[in-house]
Amino acid sequence: MDGVPAIRAAKAATASIPIVFSTGIDPVEAGLVASLNRPGGNLTGVSNLNAELGPKRLELVHELLPNARLIALLLNPTNSSAKPIAKDLEAAGRTRGINIHILEASTESELDMVLPSLDQVHADALVFCADLLFVRRSDQLAALALRRTLPAISQFREFAAAGGLMSYGSSLGDAYRLVGVYVGRILKGETPADLPVQQAVRIELIINLKTAKALGLEIPATLLARADEVIE
């Protein structure tokens, strides 16, 4: 999920008002802070695991569907993490004999246009890149995947809660809790420059068992045992 443009806009607007961010992008590489330990300036915040987890989501799909040979990847090309994620998934796919078919959408209208093309792709499963556009459309995307009997996985719990098959990624609740802690410390007098950027390290695997049954899938016991939450 790429909030970097908004963070950059806030940073450009003020050099004195404290800014606490949450992002899935490397904040140093994105130029938001000087370093993780000593951010400098008026920004600090929380970094969520994002691109690093792409291959793991593919691994989870492969564990559930060991015979899958074509997996669709829906990404927003304007998201700065999209290309690295796609590259990592393609590499991970090659090691398992899986081809990755990339679908792109950066706006609501483009998403409405690209989704019907899934019928022509004949993919065995669908993986979503983390993006605010897709999070906002979690209900629609979960319903679409179910209607096409397509197993799908996203990064955030919102997708699985909306009826998607699985989600695997950083806990937004954990990230926002850390953001709240920093806001409290800043309000008590500390400065962002002295508060190291934290990493939200809690990773959640959510499985929607009701959706699995609707898709005619039996979730392996080993996968269920690793789930942080099973939605029934």
151 and 57 within one domain: yes
103 and 164 within one domain: yes
112 and 78 within one domain: yes
199 and 179 within one domain: yes
Mean pLDDT rounded to a whole number for the chain: 91
Q: CB of 197 within 8 A of CB of 27?
A: yes
66 and 129 within one domain: yes
pLDDT in tens, 145-186: 999 899 999 988 999 999 999 999 988 888 889 999 999 999
86 and 147 within one domain: yes
CATH number at residue 27: 3.40.50.2300
Domain span holding position 39: 4-50+171-203
162 and 128 within one domain: yes
220 and 143 within one domain: yes
Report pLDDT for 133.
87
pLDDT in tens, 27-53: 898 889 999 999 999 999 998 877 678
Give the number of domains in the chain.
Answer: 2
220 and 110 within one domain: yes
Element (H, E) at 44: strand 43-48
119 and 23 within one domain: no
pLDDT in tens, 204-218: 999 999 999 999 999
d(CA 109, CA 4): 22
Q: CB of 101 within 8 A of CB of 71?
A: yes
154 and 121 within one domain: yes
Specify the pTM: 0.84
130 and 186 within one domain: no
Q: Which residues neighbour 5 within 8 Å (Cβ) at sequence distance 6 or greater?
A: none
pLDDT in tens, 218-228: 999 999 999 99
